[in-house]
Amino acid sequence: MTYRFVPRCRASGQPWFDSLLEARGITTPEARDRFLHPSLKDLHDPFLLEGMAQTVSLLRSAIANRETILVYGDYDADGVCATSILLDLLHEEGASLAYRIPSRHEEGYGLHERAVREAANKCSLLITVDCGVSNVEEVALAKSLGLTVIVTDHHQPPEVLPPADVVMDPLLGAYPFPPLCGAGVALKICQAMQGLEGVRKRLDLAAIATVADVVPLLGENRIIVREGMKSLSSSSRPGLQALLRTAGTEPPLHADDLAFRLAPRLNAVGRLGDAKLAVHLLLTPDPAKADHIAGLLESANRERQDLERQMTKSAMEQLEAAGTDGAHVLVVHEEGWNPGLVGLTAGRLCERWHLPAVALSVRGEEAVGSCRSIPGVNIYRMLSACADLLVRFGGHEQAAGLTVRTENIPALRDRLEQVISSSADPECFVPSREYDLAVPFSTWTPETLALLDGLEPTGCGNPPPLFRLENASVQSLRRVGRDGSHLKLSLLDPDNTLVEGIAFSFGDTADQFPAKLDLLYRPTLNDFRGSTTIEAQVTAINIPN
């Protein structure tokens, strides 16, 4: 695939690091200090969240009256961490507690009638985390059964809100930082009930969730993750210690460690089995139990990787057989696909073809699926235009989940094609990659790389700095990795600096390279057998058609 490389930084003649900050909207000394030195004291007043005062009052009343509080979460890393945060807080406050996380396979996302009826026999107060804002009927049922209901969520609220005692979502009202994740909202409850000390105790969990849920790493999220990674590195939680060990992760931590090592392991058990195992891991005080559960998560993650490869291969074969020329959306489905992995498959397809993708697991008369999209195509809005074809749906601009009757899959494909092709800017379908600057590779030393660490945590909203290497001469290349899926490169840049690089997932392009390349990369330190070198981690390569 040939990309349009788009610079984020304008040519200004200023030092390269100042250009990086300017491209991220940091133009004053005050903003620079807040960005490079985020502090918990800069967190917003939690009572600015609409519904926070009522939430705290209802929780404290239930605790004082010895009523049982049931925390209802979600099965992904955000939901698991949010559930753990609230259970940890309320346990410390002396609450009588129960919790429930629905089965991804048997129940799916959000509140369900059976769960509500079961909750009515166990508790007086039901509080959701990372779900609930779209569950109008289920909340109405809970109220009719005599439950006090607090909905805390961060997903897009529908036009009609559920009839809960409180609906707290940072997208409602005038909260100064709306893009919190579910665990971020739970952390704000900790701040409201226990001040910053309550936040400090649970930053480690909130940091993992914030990175895992791909919310912008700016503002409060940047503070949570930056401070949370420090807390995580020295966490006293046996479960997190065991998770770090099994994931092979050691301090100092980076956001990539949370995104690609810790979060997938927490997600794996929910994708394949019971997400409650992840909650047990995060909250257990027993080191031996933590080691055992971490081992189960590791096994689940390996199984998840194998299944994901099989599903993605099958999906790509479907699309290659059907053809994708002229398409504005990709829709694949198969009987028996693991519904917990369809989101990962959709993500792979979206990345491969640069098109919105929907992957559906067919189970008899219904199919459960996930969508991933590209910048410029709001997939939640596109699904809203197909609401009459769907059993249920929910999500964000770039990712969503849905259930559809199997017989409606062809109609859904056609409708999505129609609404996307007629409403999206054609430019968004031209694959592009943003980069910061083109600088000589000789710029990179351990000292200059340390400056880049100041931008951490990087990710959504604060992309890791990318640099362009133009007209680099290929000296050698070879496929590496267990299945030869990666590429090891040796290049010579125009000022005759030798550049060693690794291009993950580029192995199948090994025979396509010309003598000279134009690529985007991240400079990284590579420690091998006691020797430290700086290499280029390649993220995009322009290969002539």
Q: Which residue type is seen at 261?
A: R
Mean pLDDT of 323-334: 94
- The pLDDT score that the predictor gives to residue 335 is 95
Q: How far is CA 234 from CA 32, 231, 257, 361, in A?
A: 27, 5, 15, 40
CB 365 within 8 A of CB 398: no
Closest C-alpha among 172, 183, 247 to residue 215: 183
Note the pLDDT tens digit of each residue in 287-317: 999 999 999 999 999 999 999 999 999 999 9
Burial class (CB in 10 A: 0-12, 13-18, 19+), 144: exposed
> What pLDDT is recorded for position 545?
53
Per-residue pLDDT at 12 exceeds 70: no
CA 40 to chain centre: 22
Terminal Cα distance for the chain, rounded:
8
**Rounded-to-integer distance, Cα 151 and Cα 214, Å:** 22
Q: What domains are defined for the chain?
A: 42-296 (3.90.1640.30), 323-429 (3.10.310.30), 436-542 (2.40.50.460)
The per-residue pLDDT for range 211-226, each reduced to its tens digit, is 999 899 999 999 999 9
Q: Report the half-sphere exposure of 178 (CA within 13 A, side-chain side).
A: 7
Number of H helices and number of E strands within the chain?
18, 17
Widest Cα–Cα separation across the chain: 75
How much is the pTM? 0.87
CA distance 369 to 341: 9
Q: How many residues make up the chain in this entry? A: 545
The reported pLDDT for the residue numbered 9 is 79
Q: Is the pLDDT of residue 544 over 70?
A: no
Q: What are the DSSP E strand ranges found in 420-463?
A: 432-435
Q: Other C-beta atoms within 10 Å of 201: how many?
A: 18
As a whole-number percent, the residues of the chain with pLDDT over 90 amount to 77
Contacts of 282 (CB under 8 A, 6+ apart): 80, 81, 84, 205, 237, 239, 240, 266
Whether the predicted pLDDT of 13 surpasses 80? no
Residues ≥6 apart with Cβ < 8 Å to 321: none
Q: Which of 228, 253, 245, 229 is nearest to 287 (CA)?
A: 245
Region 175-203: mean pLDDT is: 98
Q: What is the mean pLDDT of residues 476-505?
A: 89
**Is pLDDT above 90 for 231?**
yes
Mean pLDDT of 510-538: 86
For residue 1, the model assigns a pLDDT of 62
